[in-house]
Chain A
Amino acid sequence: MVDLTRIQKELTDCNRDKRVSGVSLTLCGDDLAHLSGTISGPIGTPYEGGTFQIDIRIPDDYPFVPPKMKFLTKVWHPNISSQNGAICLDILKDQWSPALTVKTAMLSLQALLSTPEPNDPQDAVVAQQYIREYPTFVNTARYWTEAFAKRTSIGIEEKVKKLVEMGFPENSVRKVLNTVGGDENLALEKLCSG
């Protein structure tokens, strides 16, 4: 069983100072085992100005095993898969400690965005580019941030409007959009399937 007390507390704690920390945490639906987090791109990096959605699954043995996290927002980074958003970070694997929290893990992700470790890559292509053609890497990363990490935050109201016009209740539209990381088509699919 997931430890409810702890998750509840983590949610409140994390959102208390989200404007300072740049990370926030929300529930996806009613299930405490499925959370959605956002990280704002660190200033002075190609990710600056972007908001990155993280899908967070809380396993039954949490906090004795690490939460499962991946990027929903596409991101160009040596330690994050450009294909599926999988993350290579030690504290999400064997260096996890029950004393860490989802928030600390997300802060570590934020730190990872500012200091990539190309020598321990998740995405070999990106890592190669980072090492060999750094300027190209920066450009690509910046472009991806513009293309994927900003669109959702700007266009979200439009999407809600569009979907509500199709006849779905606004509440569930917002919830579903949140769950799928702002992807309009996915949200529609989900709404239709009930």
Chain B
Amino acid sequence: MGEYLSADEDYYSDPDSQEPFHSHDDVDVDVDVPVVEDDRDDPRSTPSSNKIVIRKEHLLLAQMGDLRRVMDLLKLREQHARTLLIHYRWDVDRLVEVLAEMGKDKLFAQAGVTLPGNTTSPLLQSSSIITCYICMEDVCPREVTTMDCGHCYCNNCWSEHFIVRIKEGQSKRIRCMEHKCNAICDEAVVRKLVSARDPDLAERFDRFLLESYVEDNKIVKWCPSVPHCGNAIRVDDEKYCEVECACGFQFCFGCSSEAHSPCSCTMWELWTKKCRDESETVNWITVNTKPCPKCHKPVEKNGGCNLVSCICGQAFCWLCGGPTGRDHTWSSIRGHSCGRYKEEGEQKKAARAKRELYRYMHYYNRYKAHTDSFKLESKLVETMMDKISALDRRFYNLNDFSWLTNGLNRLFRSRRVLSYSYAFAYYMFGDELFQGEMTKKTREIKQNLFEDQQQQFEFNVEQLSKYLEEPLDEYSEDKVLDIRMRVINFSGIVDSRCEQMYEYIENDLLGCLVRTTHSIAPYNSKGVEKASLWSATVDNSGCHPPQDVKDFGRPSKESGCSSSRKRSRRDSRGDGLFDLNLPAEAIDKC
């Protein structure tokens, strides 16, 4: 026990240290919890190495990273590099590929980059008065500008052209005024001429160029928080993942909606839509109505008798839902008895609709139950703080309570996965997305296996929830220690059960799909990963994360868990005590 405490203690002490967490606390505690393996070769073992928050004020610097790579590679000026990158949607690798495939000239021509020729325009050298062929006015050479492509017009016309284009929202690609000239205008010229006329618009132009780095870029996205925090998130080399912005908002990087793993983005979109459309109505309809056997409209029973008649004129038996005649006595409907079971083709359609509805209700209710539990348990955070301070006063040798906070975090994470797993199952084993993917038999077997795992996971989550809700502050020290043991124990079990379920989903369910691919954000024992703050000291290549982030990401073999780093207390937001994404090292090490 004592060793445990020291480990927990160590975890929080020295908040400023950024060093990897060394495992002098590699203790053997006698609980039957599988340890999270350390050196796996999947992205899970290097969390945070590739997720970076870029604050609005750092966008320019972040953009410079990619720009400089291209500038160095092709010996270009910044604006040309930007034009190239906007054309290739900030995909430096793709740009390099095109360069290798087609050569520099074609690459430049396609993107509209024209490097200034060596000879100055003959117009400029010869006459003292130049006619601008746009406004047909004669102007002196000081008042004309020749673009890199060699086309020369008066400054007034250029300015007007730029202003119209910027207002049209074409800032990112303002072409030369000459007919069929594909060249993109030099942004420095645009800036200079526009700001002389309309400084606000020039600012807008700059903002468009800057924000292109987010808006036209596959690997950078705005944080979808409302109200918007102004941050962008960059994720390298990982298409399907969930990430937490510095503002605390967690989202799926694939679809920018809330984190929804193990549902795929498609499933989640369908599910949220279905829930929005149907939940209220469906609830009521299932409880209060039965479909008419003739017109299939839902019928509500408003009297006491079991002979119900629909507005379409059809009478039916409320008990079995079958069609009947209209004559009845107090005790029975004439010529009708529902004691016998029979299958009729007529009823099949109604039966299928009903089955579908019940199927949806089954999954929805469980999804909802866990979502509701999650909301209720969120209140535990407040009471837990009181409990901890009470415990802290009473037991001097129990001075670390991270097992409680970690357990709580584990519970929150698991609840969420659990509730989404029902939405997942609804689509995985239904016909809407995967009709014909599996034979009926295979599906049945797989569904059974999945449900077994889901149940075990669910059972352990409930256990964990139960112990976390105990009135610890009223218990004796022995009892508290006992519960502490159980919380740690179940946290570990829940984690590994959840991971097993994910493995099954990824390998045996989604991995076996033939006709379509559904990818999900992989399981992360530590919850949705927090993107690290982009630092201005980033190396120039731009594709590499800041140095300290690299350290963070390197799996430390000597420590007992996949990626460990002491987190400073200051990192946690909100009340300074609970952070839903605290790495659960203590748990993982058990």
- A64 contacts which of B164, B180, B181 (Cβ < 8 Å)? B164
Given contacts A6-B135, A64-B164, 7 further A-B contacts (CB under 8 A): A3-B135, A5-B137, A6-B134, A97-B178, A98-B153, A98-B157, A98-B161
Q: Are B136 and A98 in contact, with the CB atoms below 8 A? A: no
Whether the pair A63, B164 counts as a contact (CB closer than 8 A) is no
Across the interface, name the chain B residue whose C-beta is closest to A7.
B136
* Interfacial chain A residues near B179, Cβ < 8 Å: 91, 97, 99-100
Q: Would you call A19 an interface residue if the criterion is a C-beta within 8 Å of the partner chain's C-beta atoms?
A: no
Bound CA span A91–B135, Å: 19
Chain A 45-74 interface mask (CB, 8 Å, partner B; 1/0): 000000000000000010111000000000
Counting CB contacts under 8 A, is A132 at the interface?
no
Could you tell me the distance between the alpha carbons of A132 and B177 in the complex, rounded to whole angstroms?
40
- Docked Cα-Cα span, A190 to B134, in Å, equals 36
Could you tell me the distance between the alpha carbons of A100 and B161 in the complex, rounded to whole angstroms? 13
Q: A9–B131 Cα gap in the complex (Å)?
A: 13
Q: Which residue of A lies closest to B158 (CB)?
A: A98
Residues of A within 8 A of B134 (CB): 6, 63, 98-99
Chain A interface mostly: loop
Quick check: B136 and A6 within 8 Å, CB to CB?
yes
B177 touches which of A61, A91, A97 (Cβ 8 Å): A97
* B160 is an interface residue with CB less than 8 A from chain A: yes
**Bound CA span A180–B257, Å:** 56
Q: How far is the CA of A64 from the CA of B177 in the complex (A)?
A: 8
In the bound complex, how far is the Cα of B164 from the Cα of A3, in angstroms? 14
- A-binding residues in B (CB < 8 A): 133-137, 153, 157, 160-161, 164-165, 177-181
The total number of A-B Cβ pairs within 8 Å is 35
B136 touches A64 (CB 8 A): no
Which residues of the other chain, A, contact B165 by a CB distance below 8 angstroms?
64
Query: 13 A-B residue contacts at CB 8 Å?
Result: A3-B135, A5-B135, A6-B134, A6-B135, A61-B164, A63-B134, A64-B157, A64-B161, A97-B180, A98-B134, A98-B161, A99-B134, A99-B178
Contacts of B181 in A (CB 8 A): 97
A108 CB to closest chain B CB, in angstroms? 11
Which single residue of chain A is at the shortest CB-CB distance from B168?
A: A65
Chain A residues 1 to 50 lying within 8 A of chain B, measured CB to CB, are: 3, 5-6, 9
Closest to B160 in A: A64
Known contacts A64-B160, A64-B164, A65-B164; decide if A98 and B137 are in contact (CB<8 Å): no
- Determine the residue in chain B with the shortest Cβ distance to A10: B136
Q: How many angstroms between the C-alpha atoms of A78 and B134 in the bound complex?
A: 32
Q: How far is the CB of A1 from chain B (nearest CB, A)?
A: 11
When distances are taken between beta carbons in the complex, the residues of chain B under 8 Å from A98 are: 134, 153, 157, 161, 177
Docked CA distance A63–B161 (Å): 9
Contacts of B153 in A (CB 8 A): 98
Chain B residue numbers with a CB within 8 Å of A91 are 179
Minimal beta-carbon separation of A69 from chain B (angstroms):
17
**C-alpha gap A11/B137 in the complex (Å):** 15
In the complex, what residue of chain B is closest to A3 when comparing beta carbons? Answer: B135
- Nearest 5 CB-CB pairs, A to B? A97-B179, A64-B164, A98-B177, A9-B136, A98-B134
Q: Which residues of B contact A97 (CB under 8 A)?
A: 177-181
Complex alpha-carbon distance, A5 and B160, angstroms: 16
Which A residues are in CB contact (< 8 Å) with B178?
97, 99
Docked CA distance A14–B161 (Å): 24
Instruction: Determine the residue in chain B with the shortest Cβ distance to A91.
Output: B179
**Closest residue of chain B to A6, judged by CB?**
B136
